[in-house]
Amino acid sequence: MRFALLALTATLLSAQTPYTLLIKGGHVIDPKNGRSAKLDVAIQGNRIAKVAPDIPASQASRVANANGLYVVPGLIDIHAHVYAGTGVKALTGDSSVYPDGFSFRTGVTTLVDAGSSGWRNFEDFRQRVIDRAQTRVFAFINIVGNGMSPSGEDDNAEMQSAQAAAIARKHKDVVVGFKTAHYAGEGWPSVDGALAAAKAVDMPIMVDFGYLTLNRNLRTLLGDKMRAGDIYTHCYSGHRGELGEDGKVNAAFVTGRKRGVIFDVGHGGGSFYWNIAEPITKQGFWPDSISTDLHTGSMNAGMKDMANVMSKILNLGAPLEEVIKMSTWNPAKQIKHPELGNLDEGAVADIAVLKVEQGKFGFIDSAGATLTGDKKLTAELTLRAGKIVWDLNGIAATDWKSFKYQKRASKP
Residue 35, in any domain of the structure: no
**Backbone phi, then psi, for 167, in 5-degree steps?**
-65, -40
Q: What pLDDT, on a 0 to 100 scale, did the predictor assign at position 412? A: 65
Contacts of 404 (CB under 8 A, 6+ apart): none
Q: What is the number of structural domains in the chain?
A: 1
DSSP H helical ranges for 283-378 = 296-299, 306-315, 320-327, 329-334
Going by C-alpha positions, the residue among 193, 270, 257, 201 that lies closest to residue 230 is 257
Residues 79 and 389: beta-carbon distance below 8 Å: no
Q: Which residues contact residue 124 at a Cβ distance below 8 angstroms, ignoring those fewer than 6 apart?
A: 86, 117
Q: Is residue 407 part of a domain?
A: no
Residue 336 sits at the vertex; the CA angle it makes with 335 and 337, to the nearest 5 degrees, is 95
Residue 145 pLDDT more than 50? yes
Q: Would you say 338 and 372 are in contact if contact means Cβ atoms under 8 Å apart?
A: no
Q: Is the pLDDT of residue 11 over 50?
A: no
Confidence band of 15 (pLDDT split at 50, 70, 90): low
- Residue 7 placed within a domain: no
| pLDDT tens readout for residues 242-288 | 999 999 999 999 999 999 999 999 999 999 999 999 999 999 999 99
Q: Would 50 be classed as within a structural domain?
A: no
CATH for 239: 3.20.20.140
Contact 353, 381 (CB under 8 A): yes
Tell me the residue range of the domain where 148 lies: 74-346
Question: Which among 267, 114, 256, 95 has a CA at the least distance from the CA of 179?
Answer: 114
Q: Which residues contact 257 (CB under 8 A, 6 or more apart)?
A: 263, 285
pTM for the predicted model, two decimal places: 0.95
Q: What is the pLDDT of residue 185?
A: 87
pLDDT in tens, 87-143: 999 999 999 999 999 999 999 999 999 999 999 999 999 999 999 999 999 999 999
Closest CA to 382 of 343, 354, 357, 356: 354
Rounded mean pLDDT, 187-205? 97
Residue 174 lies in a domain: yes
- Please say if the pLDDT value at position 5 is more than 90: no
Judged by average pLDDT, the poorest of 47-51, 207-211, 226-230, 407-411 is: 407-411
In-domain check, residue 144: yes
Task: Determine the pLDDT at residue 13.
Answer: 46
Domain-located, residue 21: no
Contact of 48 with 23, CB cutoff 8 Å:
no
What is the overall mean pLDDT for the chain? 95
Average pLDDT estimate for 353-367: 98
Look at residue 211 and tell me if it is in a domain.
yes
What percentage of the chain carries pLDDT values higher than 90? Answer: 91
